[in-house]
């Protein structure tokens, strides 16, 4: 019921044009607006997260949790360049699987809000290649 209300406000008041993320549905965790309006989601990270205005605070929080988890794996990879290849492959598979889960979570919210869904394959590629746009 609440999400229906939020969606109605988003569509009618903002005309489905989010004033917070420039309609992309994503915002960098290091973004100043995020620090001011949603400090609990802000961080010194290169990752983008689902925009809390577009998808709601609850879904955005879940996306921040996925982002934080992925950052931890990336840090592990960066801190151990001499890691055993088997372990490296395992961590890269985890990155891909977590990114897929992340996309599915975000896409549920985006569909509810009438936004286009994100391409899971593209996002997995970006996560593996560490493209942060």
The residues binding Zn ion (CB under 5 A) are 18, 20-21, 51, 53-54
Report the C-alpha gap between 133 and 127 in whole angstroms: 11
Backbone angles phi, psi at 50, to 5 degrees: -60, 135
Which residues are 48's β-sheet partners? 28
Residue placing its CB nearer to Zn ion in the complex, 55 or 70 = 55
CB of 61 to Zn ion, least distance (A): 15
Residue placing its CB nearer to Zn ion in the complex, 18 or 34 = 18
Compute the CA torsion angle 120, 20, 115, 64 (nearest 10 deg). Answer: 40
CB of 10 to Zn ion, least distance (A): 9
Residue placing its CB nearer to Zn ion in the complex, 89 or 111 = 111
């Amino acid at each position: 019921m609440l999400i229906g209300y939020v969606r109605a406000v988003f569509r009618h008041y903002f005309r489905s044009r989010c004033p917070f993320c420039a309609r992309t549905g994503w915002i960098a965790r290091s973004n100043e607006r995020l620090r001011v309006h949603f400090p609990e989601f802000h961080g010194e990270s290169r990752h983008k997260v689902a925009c809390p205005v577009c998808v709601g605070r609850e879904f955005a929080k879940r996306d921040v949790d996925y982002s934080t988890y992925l950052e931890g794996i990336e840090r592990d990879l960066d801190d151990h360049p001499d890691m055993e290849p088997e372990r490296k492959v395992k961590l890269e598979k985890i990155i891909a699987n977590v990114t897929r889960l992340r996309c599915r979570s975000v896409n549920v919210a985006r569909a509810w809000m009438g936004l286009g869904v994100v391409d899971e394959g593209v996002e997995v590629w970006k996560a593996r290649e560490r493209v942060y746009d």
